[in-house]
Chain A
Amino acid sequence: MTIGSLLETLEASAAGTWVRESTWGFAIVVGGHILGLALSVGVLAWFDLRLLGVGVTGVPVSRVFRRLMPWAFGGFALMFATGLLLFAAYATDAYPNPWFRLKLIAMTAAGGNALAYHLITERTLARWDRAATPPPAARLAGGLSLGLWASVVLLGRAMAYTMF
């Protein structure tokens, strides 16, 4: 199966057709996508600010992560589920769109940055968990996360304006 036929199959699926052709499908899915984005990126920003030593500096980094991130993960789940539905509805238009590809690259980079933080930087967390200003590697991870997720939002809007 070629990529082209896979994209056409996605568009012809029941989910893709519902989003594209029903009266409220597109509006409901886009609304959910925006809410998921606001919840995920909006809450994640507070953990990033803690890593930067700018916000809620009185609370250990590990506790900010444990208490806030489940909400951000809920938002990410909603954002990804609705994003997949939107992609299914307009797969053949989205796939070649350069802004969509840049958005995927920015998302992958954000995921890589989070993975690097958890696998490498977090190993020494016990030493700086309560520090108001975390070490440079943690601050770099927080700054990169903020910048990359802001880029994802901007690229998503650029994609929408060049597709519809």
Chain B
Amino acid sequence: MLYWLEATAAAVAIRDSLPVTALLSGLHVIGMAVSVGAVVVMTLRSAGLALHDAPIRGVIDPASRGLLGGAALSLTTGLLLVLPRASGAVENPYFQRKMLLLAVAVAFHLLLFRRLAPRASRVTGWLGAIDLLLWGSVAVLGCMYTLVE
């Protein structure tokens, strides 16, 4: 199936075009930056370190949408970037760790931090710091995967 994916018209078009690959890679990084920025804003508000004059829902809800929107952009462009080299990617240890950590980051955000953040306490501040560490680690592992490739 991975070899079939690598032979699809989309994979061939991406593999044969450096501008398309660079554009997808740039959008991938922009999506990641949007996500990390949103986590920083959520963490600061939740820990009571910034924007505490705003209703907490007025910060957490749009920031969470920003985080998931950025992650969706990164995921879409990331899948397209992996398409031409799918068989190599699944065997790459950095790619495997990145995907695992991405799943953990999404689950941690949606199931724990997103639900508890509106309570705004020191605990939620620490949860935000963990959220930020997870998303930052996903970014660094993505970088390592690109370098190894």
Q: Which residues of A contact B (CB under 8 A)?
A: 26-27, 30-31, 34-35, 37-39, 41-46, 55-56, 58-60, 63-64, 67-68, 71, 150, 153-158, 160-162
Contacts and interface: CB of A to CB of B under 8 A. Distances in A.
A5 B49 CA distance: 48
Contacts of A60: 53
Contacts of A64: 51
A20 B44 CA distance: 37
Given A56-B54, A56-B58, A67-B51, A34 B41 contact: no
Contacts of B50: 67-68
B53 to A, nearest CB: 6
Contact of B26 (A26, A31, A56, A153): A153
Interface residues of B, number: 39
Q: Is the interface of A mostly helix, strand, loop or mixed?
A: helix
A160 B21 CA distance: 11
B44 A42 contact: no
Interface in B129-149: 136, 139-140, 142-144, 147
Contacts of B40: 39, 42-43, 68, 71
Interface of B: 18-19, 21-23, 25-27, 29-30, 32-38, 40-41, 44, 49-51, 53-55, 58-59, 62-63, 66, 70, 136, 139-140, 142-144, 147
